Chains A and B, each alone.
Chain A
Amino acid sequence: QEVTLKFHHIWNTQAMASVQVIQPWCEKIAKDSGGKLKCQVLPAMSGGGTPPQLVDRVKDGVDDLIITLPGYTAGRFPAMEVFELPFMTNSAEAGARAAWDYLQKYALKEFPGTKVLATWVHDEGYIHTRDKPVKTLADFKGLKMRAPTRQTNKLLALLGASPVGMPLPAIPDAISKGTIDGFVLPWEPLPSLKLQEMVKYHAETDPSRPALYSAVFVFAMNQAKYDSLPPELKKVIDANSGADYSRQVGKVWDGSQGAARKAAQDRGNTFHLVPAAELDHWVKASAPLYDSWVGEVTGRGMPGAQMLQDARDLLAKYRTAK
Chain B
Amino acid sequence: MDALTIGLLMFVGMLILMALRVPIAAAMFVPGALGYWAMTQDAALLNQLKGSAVARLTVYDLSVIPLFLLMGQFATQGGLSRALFQAAAAFVGHIRGGLAMAAVLSAAAFGAVCGSSVATSATITQVAYPEMKAHGYHGRLATATLASGGTLGILIPPSVPLVVYAILTEQNIAKLFAAAMVPGLLAMLGYIAVIAVVCRLQPELASPSAPTPWPQRWQALLGIWPIVVVFVVVFGGIYGGLFSPTEGAAVGAVGTFLAALLRRELDWAGIRRSFMGTAETSAMVFMIFLGADMMNASLALTQMPKLLADWMVHLPVAPLAIIAAIMVLYVVLGCVMDELSMMLLTIPVLFPAVMGLDLWGLNPEMKAIWFGILVLMTVGIGMTAPPVGLNVYVVNSVAKEVPMAETYKGVMPFLLTDVARTVAMLFFPSLCLGLITLFF
Contacts and interface: CB of A to CB of B under 8 A. Distances in A.
Interface of A: 6, 12-15, 40, 42-50, 53, 56-57, 60-62, 166-167, 169-170, 172-174, 176-179, 191-194, 197-198
Contact of A47 (B169, B241, B297, B352): B297
B247 to A, nearest CB: 8
Contacts of B175: 194
Given A12-B348, A14-B352, A44-B344, A177 B43 contact: no
Contact of A62 (B47, B170, B241, B344): B47
Interface of B: 40, 42-44, 47-48, 50-52, 54-55, 58, 60, 158, 163, 166-175, 238-245, 293, 296-297, 300-301, 303, 341, 344-345, 348-349, 351-352
B171 A194 contact: yes
B56 to A, nearest CB: 9
A145 B238 CA distance: 17
A61 B238 contact: no
8 contacts: A14-B351, A49-B48, A53-B55, A56-B50, A176-B173, A193-B170, A194-B173, A194-B175
A226 to B, nearest CB: 15
Contact of A44 (B48, B166, B168): B168
B353 to A, nearest CB: 11
A253 to B, nearest CB: 18
B170 A60 contact: no
Given A46-B348, A53-B54, 15 more contacts: A12-B169, A13-B352, A14-B169, A14-B170, A44-B344, A49-B55, A57-B48, A61-B42, A62-B40, A62-B48, A170-B60, A172-B166, A176-B173, A191-B170, A194-B174
B167 A12 contact: yes
Contact of A56 (B51, B60, B170, B243): B51
Most buried by B among A45, A49, A57: A49
A179 B251 CA distance: 15
B48 A48 contact: yes
Chain B: interface secondary structure?
helix
Nearest to A130: B241
Contacts of A60: 43-44, 47, 50
Given A44-B344, A46-B345, A49-B55, A172 B239 contact: no
B437 to A, nearest CB: 15
B245 A12 contact: no
A166 B246 CA distance: 11
A15 B167 CA distance: 10
A72 to B, nearest CB: 13
Contacts of B55: 48-50, 53
Given A12-B348, A46-B345, A47-B297, A173 B47 contact: no
Nearest to B298: A48
B375 to A, nearest CB: 15
A107 B348 CA distance: 35
Contact of B51 (A14, A42, A57): A57
B170 A42 contact: no
